[in-house]
Structures are given as structure tokens and as C-alpha cells.
Amino acid sequence: MFGLTFDKLLIVGVLAVFLLGPDRLPGYASKLAQLVRTLRGMADTAKDRMRDEMGPEFDDVEWQKLDPRQYDPRRIIRDALLDAPPGSSSTGMSAATAAAVSVGLPQHERPTIVPLAVGEVAPYDSEAT
């Protein structure tokens, strides 16, 4: 949790004893416990409210799939670029796009890059540049 190990917590506790002193330490410890109870109660209230508002679907949601730590931006972009709309061909892909898409792909899955013919102008979007 937050990169805190037992050693670090022990050091923080010893520092708290020296800085606060034995007279004020029990009061601050009880305030910390009250804060933790309040935060836990707020989290439980929020969960109950979500369950009430979402109804029975709340238990059916796969919360692990929605964890932002599991998203890989490279995979998302690669999937978006490789999923061409029906009827379009992948040969219209620019070399830079193909290179960006092919990062991390096995050789047999990489798109083929077709070089421009002599005198052919590279495609670009005049509104985007």
C-alpha cells in the first residue's frame, strides 16, 4: 500500500513519538483512527449508493476489466489502426502509421509497406497540417 513497508512505518512511528511526545500521541492516534473509520464509512456509503442506483447490474459488472492500470496504450492504438472499416484496404496506410502499428507485432502479423511510385505524391490531409 503506497510503497510503505513495515520498516518505514516503524520509522514514522518513532518520529511521531519524538515529535509529538507521549502526552499528545494518544490523542492524535485516536484522531487518525476516527479519520480512517470516516473514510471507510464514506466508501461503503458510496458503494451502497452505486448499488442502489445501478440496480442488479452492479454485481454483474466486471470491475477488473475497468481497472485503468490494465490498459496498454500501444495495444489500444494498434487495435484501432488495424481494425479497418469494411471495404477499405490496408494498403492506404502510410509508412509512419504502418511502422507505428507494427511495433510489438510478430513478423507474420505486420502490415506490408508499399513504397510510393516514382513521382507519386505522399497522401496528406491539408486540413490537419
Compute CA distances 82 → 74, 101, 113, 128, whole Å: 12, 7, 14, 21
Q: Does residue 37 lie within any of the structural domains?
A: yes
74 near 103, Cβ under 8 Å? yes
pLDDT, position 53 = 87
DSSP secondary structure code for residue 91 in this structure: G
Q: Does residue 90 lie within any of the structural domains?
A: yes
DSSP secondary structure code for residue 115 in this structure: P
Distance, in Å, from the CA atom of 124 to the CA atom of 128, rounded to the nearest integer, reads 8
DSSP secondary structure code for residue 61 in this structure: S
Residues 6+ apart with CB under 8 A from 101: 77, 78, 81, 82, 93, 110, 111
Which residues constitute the domain of residue 41?
A: 10-62
115 near 94, Cβ under 8 Å? no
Q: Which of 25, 42, 62 finishes a domain?
A: 62
Q: Does residue 118 lie within any of the structural domains?
A: no
**53 and 15, same domain (yes or no):** yes
Rg (CA), the chain: 28
**16 and 52, same domain (yes or no):** yes
Q: Does residue 117 lie within any of the structural domains?
A: no
Q: What average pLDDT values come out for the chain (129 residues) when binned by 10 residues?
A: 80 86 87 94 92 81 79 82 60 55 64 82 79
pLDDT, position 76 = 81
Q: Does residue 75 lie within any of the structural domains?
A: yes
Tell me how many domains the chain contains. Answer: 2
pLDDT, position 44 = 93
Q: Does residue 89 lie within any of the structural domains?
A: yes
pLDDT, position 59 = 75
Q: Does residue 48 lie within any of the structural domains?
A: yes
pLDDT, position 72 = 81
Please state whether the predicted TM-score (pTM) of the whole model is above 0.85: no
Distance, in Å, from the CA atom of 63 to the CA atom of 49, rounded to the nearest integer, reads 16
**86 and 55, same domain (yes or no):** no
pLDDT, position 23 = 87
Distance, in Å, from the CA atom of 74 to the CA atom of 102, rounded to the nearest integer, reads 10
